[in-house]
């Protein structure tokens, strides 16, 4: 059974760095048919795609985050991570990790999700 | 960015009703359109991918259709368990992948 679990700090100070890790169990991250991704949801709002990364390291990120977001993957440890720099109040959200099916040679539907982790940016 | 305009933002229906949600893309996304269900306090769940393909284990009362810029999501025989917010998502463009604003379905 595939399981994904996010981990990281629940509280981050403004201008600091947020790092989250997603641990995958029940499947290998070296699947050629999948990417691994991040989506967030601000309180009371809709879903925002952050990015997706392949086990080989090829990554796609949301341009709105410009140079603030870095994605990384460690298939040997069955985990992948995101780092968001210079956080502000607008980065307060539930952060989800997900497995992403590779369709038409691109990241497609997000078919398995972690339960999500709440991150609050506040001093 | 490709904007996804989802409507209505909220709908109330009765058990057994047919419910329809639409999603309009600001540019041609071919059939690269997915639908998700999100219940309160839970992660989203993939229901339909590539416009009309039901994901594994999803009840057949859910269906999707469309291509290009106009898409439809339908729930036939609405059940109490279907109370949730539904989102469309396009992945034709990865700069960025975008979601619709959501439709909250109540009974």
Q: What is the pLDDT of residue A66?
A: 76
Give yes or no for residue B26 having a pLDDT over 90.
yes
Banded pLDDT at B32 (limits 50, 70, 90): very high
B84 min Cα distance to partner chain A (Å): 13
Residue A111, chain B, CB below 8 Å: the answer is: yes
Q: What is the pLDDT of residues A49-85, one digit of tens each?
A: 999 999 999 999 999 997 899 999 999 999 999 999 9
Cα–Cα distance, A20 to A87 (Å, whole number): 13
Mean pLDDT of B13-41: 98
Q: Which residues of chain B have a CB within 8 Å of the CB of A62?
A: 96-97
Taking an 8 Å cut-off on Cβ atoms, the answer to whether B96 and A109 are in contact is no
CA atoms within 13 A on the CB side of A8: 28
Give yes or no for residue B74 having a pLDDT over 80.
yes
A41 min Cα distance to partner chain B (Å): 10
Q: Which residues of chain B have a CB within 8 Å of the CB of A22?
A: none
- Chosen from A4, A46, A48 to mutate, greatest number of chain B CBs within 10 A: A46
Q: Nearest-CA neighbor of B32 among B64, B80, B78?
A: B64
What is the DSSP pairing of strand B10-12 with strand B103-106? parallel
Which tokens is A24 given? 């995958």
Whole-angstrom CA distances from B40 to A94, B71, B73, B86 are 13, 25, 20, 11
Q: Nearest-CA neighbor of B103 among B4, B7, B3?
A: B7
């Amino acid at each position: 059974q595939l399981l994904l679990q996010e981990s990281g700090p629940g509280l981050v100070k403004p201008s600091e760095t947020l790092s989250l890790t997603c641990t995958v169990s029940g499947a290998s991250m070296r699947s050629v048919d999948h990417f691994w991704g991040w989506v967030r949801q601000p309180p009371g709002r809709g879903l925002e795609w952050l990015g997706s990364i392949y086990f080989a390291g090829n990554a796609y990120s949301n341009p709105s985050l410009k140079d603030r977001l870095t994605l990384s993957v460690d298939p040997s440890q069955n985990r992948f991570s995101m780092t968001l720099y210079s956080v502000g109040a607008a980065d307060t959200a539930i952060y989800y990790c997900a497995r992403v099916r590779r369709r038409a040679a691109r990241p497609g539907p997000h078919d398995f999700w972690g339960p999500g982790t709440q991150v609050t940016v506040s001093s | 960015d490709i904007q996804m305009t989802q409507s209505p933002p909220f709908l109330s229906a009765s058990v057994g009703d047919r419910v329809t949600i639409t999603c309009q893309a600001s540019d041609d996304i071919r059939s690269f359109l997915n639908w998700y269900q999100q219940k309160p306090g839970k992660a989203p769940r993939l229901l339909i991918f590539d416009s009309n393909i039901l994901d594994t284990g999803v009840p057949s009362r859910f269906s999707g259709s469309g291509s290009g810029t106009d898409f439809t999501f339908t729930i036939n025989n609405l059940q109490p368990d279907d109370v949730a917010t539904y989102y469309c998502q396009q992945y034709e463009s990865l700069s960025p992948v975008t979601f619709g604003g959501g439709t909250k379905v109540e009974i």
